[in-house]
Structure 1
Amino acid sequence: MVFDMRAFAADLCRYRSTAGEEAAAAAFVADRLDDLGFETYAWDADASVLADHPSFPDDLDAAAVEGRRSVAGVLELGVGDAADSRGVDGDGDPTPTLVLNGHLDVVPAEPTEWSSDPFEPVWGADAAGETLTARGAADMKSGIAACIGAAVDLRARVVDGSVALPASGLRLVVEAVAGEEDGGYGAATAALANPYPFERDAAIVAEPTELRPVVASEGSFMARLEIEGRSAHAATRWRGEDVLPRFEAVREAFADLERERTESVAHPLYDEFPVPWPVVCGRVEAGSWASTVPATLTAEFRIGVAPGETVAEVESTFRERLGSVVADDPWLCDHPPRFERFSVQFEPAEIAVDEPVVEAVRAGIVKAGIPDAEPRGATYGADSRHYVGAGIPAVLFGPGTIDEAHYPDETIAWEEVERAREAIAAAAVRFASDRADDS
């Protein structure tokens, strides 16, 4: 069966695979992988496994992960009939295994902000060539398409003899996982409870990196601030204790800390970012009535964590700064605010630039004629951290830009998808060769 990458990406973008609604898209991908001759696997997120993972709450509700299905397809390339399920051929040489990973889930889309139906793909063109517009086009269904295309292309080249793999061959695993946007349900489950009868040596996660290798991804945590004041009639506001100035004092203190951390927490891959460790208050709710002094406030923060730091360390730093604000306010001293983590957390992740999978991706980039192969860092989190945490080196590399992710009229340049397909296939060949040389 011929793989039509263009049609596959468009069809996959038609699925409204927002959080908890990935199952239909997973079934579609599994069917296509099966048609293409992959050996297919499927697994559901496991609340009992994830409850022990630092990204997820200890009291994770099984209902919250129900139906979060992930799927994968496996190709054994250049491996003789003597290969067994552990990936060892007849000569005793291990077959290297490379995971090509992408996530099925997308963030919600507001149709009124779009020029067309977000889940009806639109092919267009700009000065650079053909484009695809749809929710998930960049983040990251086109990346999944590029991974499948790379695997299929490489299989064809091995079969026709235009590519020669080492005697140990290569095992390619193409994953389409659920729940990346809300913590990595599918990837974390796969990392902790291996769904395959073989081990995994490395991974390429096809996030939209503008065809550049990303070896460090930032962590973050979400924290909820709750402040209590005292209500009073607006006509006698001096009898109340207004929460809003107190919140502003905390917000300014956190902004000061963000600026301090920009100067004091250095990382060579993050020099290009004006704010490498961002702090954002994304939600605030206060008061109950326009004519009443606001006596309650809830605010939710997203706080960046640098590679090399831990979520706990950074949380402690922000707690200390909150404590300094409290110490300067007699009311808050007597009525201390609450500041607690909630939802999922993203641990930072980083691998060395000389890891074999990084060197393989850089070689693939050069082979595909892409001009920039220098490793970079990213200020967002990704599923790569789950594999790195499980001892599986993972690099981010894929088509599209993060600037389009989560945006209205999300668009990707199709030429980038084709280039990613070529680069990933070349990277896989280099990875197999390097592993054979090291064995």
Structure 2
Amino acid sequence: MTTDFDMRAFAADLCRFRSTAGEEAAAADFVERTLDDLGFETYGWDADPAVLADHPSFPDDLDAAAVEGRRSVAGVLELGGAGGEDPDAAHEGGEDADASTPTLALNGHLDVVPAEPTEWSSDPFEPVWRDGDEGGVGGVDGDEGGATLTARGAADMKSGLAACVGAAADLRAAVADGSVSLPQSGLRLAVEAVAGEEDGGYGAATAALASPYPFERDAAIVAEPTELRPVVAAEGSLMARLEIDGRSAHAATRWRGEDVLPRFEAVREAFADLERERCESVTHPLYGEFAVPWPVVCGRVEAGSWASTVPATLTAEFRIGVAPGETVAGVESAFRERLASVVADDPWLCDHPPRFERFSVQFEPAEIAVDEPIVEAVRAGLVAAGLPDAEPRGATYGADSRHFVAAGVPAVLFGPGTIDEAHYPDETIAWDEVERAREAIAAAAVRFATDRAAGS
């Protein structure tokens, strides 16, 4: 059985898929074929609206159309330990999969956010390799030293997924040739490529609520771009829509109308004040480095119907940060109270109360202990890969780790690249980081298996 894996070609080919929301299926098929060719036992699942409708983060009115095309896949390797089965064999788990074998999920998401071609220097879905010395173009045969990959999804997070596949393939080969020894209990690796992370975690949430496997997952590494540092706390977010009603009037007699815009500005200012208060009063030891740890952003506003008419309707959509240890419901209550204070000061709003309701998918925060075994394993993997140890940190974004944690599976974010490149024009990753992530993840898996055996 071959264990060769061309990680550069895999990452580049994966980046060619325009796997935006609802368009992940083709990319999932590609990953499934690759994993099958590499000798993994493959699994597949579709986002299930019936399952997700019962999830507190998802709307209750999900239907089949809302989740169509949200395909996720996984490949499993079972690596035998000392005195166990042939360590070069990736045998089938089946219904009698050994529950004593520790299972580590290596997780990455297939979906990407849309790209505006006019903001890019090249086609966002045609990968470009550049050499650090020449800054030129090139195919996948370019020089490794200083190489970078530019494409939508290069950093967030198709290269991280590639590192997971490479780490699993490398570890199987190392166990087979005897250069790595696993404990008697062996190790099961589940490399997951999931859909819909960017808009709520459709694939990860479905797998958490209705597992596609005949075994349990004991821990997970989610290969988000963390600059090769373990992230143990991910922020949540409340997605809420504000609607304000006024009264229209001709612009020439605007005093007869009730303009929604100054009312909206009063609400926005009140929310900004609450953001400042929360950044001072809600503290967390892993978030001191952030100037605004719990940000509030109004990302969309639509008001009025005609330039010569007093605007009588307004819709605004907010993304409100939720700290680890808080709940979306608790933060929502605080912002509702602040909105009520604005309403109380405006007779028109008292008689025509604005509406403030959730929309889309909510992100609950997630956190695990800094000394959780999977965190210790990742830190040991860094050292084994010749990289400096790194203290765990927090992140102001949400990730699929929350679905693992909610299901009782400790999950750490760890991967190549930086979040600064995510969703950005000319999204780029340094390829050396991907190679280092591949080594560190493989070493972390060995450490995880060893620690589990020692503690059992």
Whether the 8 Å contact between 2:97 and 2:214 is mirrored in structure 1 is no
The correspondence for 2:447, drawn from 427, 430, 436, is 430
Q: How does 1:287-326 map to 2 (within 5 A)?
A: 287-326=304-343
Q: Name the stretch that deviates more: 70-79 or 418-427.
A: 70-79
Whether the 8 Å contact between 2:219 and 2:374 is mirrored in structure 1 is yes
Q: Distance in 2 between matches of 1:87 and 1:153?
A: 26
The correspondence for 2:193, drawn from 137, 161, 176, is 176
Q: How does 1:31-430 map to 2 (within 5 A)?
A: 31-79=33-81, 80-81=84-85, 85=94, 94-126=100-132, 129-430=146-447
Structure 1's 113 and 49: CA in aligned 2 closer, same or farther, altered over 3 A?
same
2:14 match:
12
Aligned AA (2:50) = S
Whether the 8 Å contact between 2:72 and 2:193 is mirrored in structure 1 is yes
**Length, aligned pairs only:** 436
**Cα displacement (A) at 1:55:** 1.3
Under a length normalisation based on structure 2, what TM-score does the superposition of the two structures give?
A: 0.94
Q: Any gaps of 5 or more consecutive residues in structure 1?
A: none
Aligned AA (1:27) = D
Whether the 8 Å contact between 1:113 and 1:408 is mirrored in structure 2 is yes
Q: Distance in 2 between matches of 1:102 and 1:87?
A: 27
Deviation string 1:222-247 (CA, Å, 9 cap, x unpaired) is 11100011111111111111110000
**Cα displacement (A) at 1:365:** 1.1
Aligned AA (2:68) = E
Q: Distance in 1 between matches of 2:273 and 2:387?
A: 40
Aligned AA (1:113) = E
Whether the 8 Å contact between 1:86 and 1:199 is mirrored in structure 2 is no
Identity of aligned residues (%): 87
**Cα displacement (A) at 1:266:** 0.2
Deviation string 1:79-98 (CA, Å, 9 cap, x unpaired) is 53499747776xxx810000
Aligned AA (2:190) = V
Under a length normalisation based on structure 1, what TM-score does the superposition of the two structures give?
A: 0.97
Q: Secondary structure at the match of 2:60?
A: coil
Q: Distance in 2 between matches of 1:333 and 1:177?
A: 46
Q: Secondary structure at the match of 2:419?
A: coil
**Cα displacement (A) at 1:369:** 2.0
Aligned AA (1:3) = F
Tell me how large the CA RMSD over aligned residues is.
1.4
Q: Distance in 2 between matches of 1:391 and 1:86?
A: 22
Q: Secondary structure at the match of 1:143?
A: helix
Q: Secondary structure at the match of 2:129?
A: strand
Q: Name the stretch that deviates more: 370-379 or 424-433.
A: 370-379
Q: Distance in 1 between matches of 2:293 and 2:131?
A: 33
**Cα displacement (A) at 1:63:** 1.1
Whether the 8 Å contact between 1:87 and 1:95 is mirrored in structure 2 is no
Q: Any gaps of 5 or more consecutive residues in structure 2?
A: 134-144
Aligned AA (1:277) = W
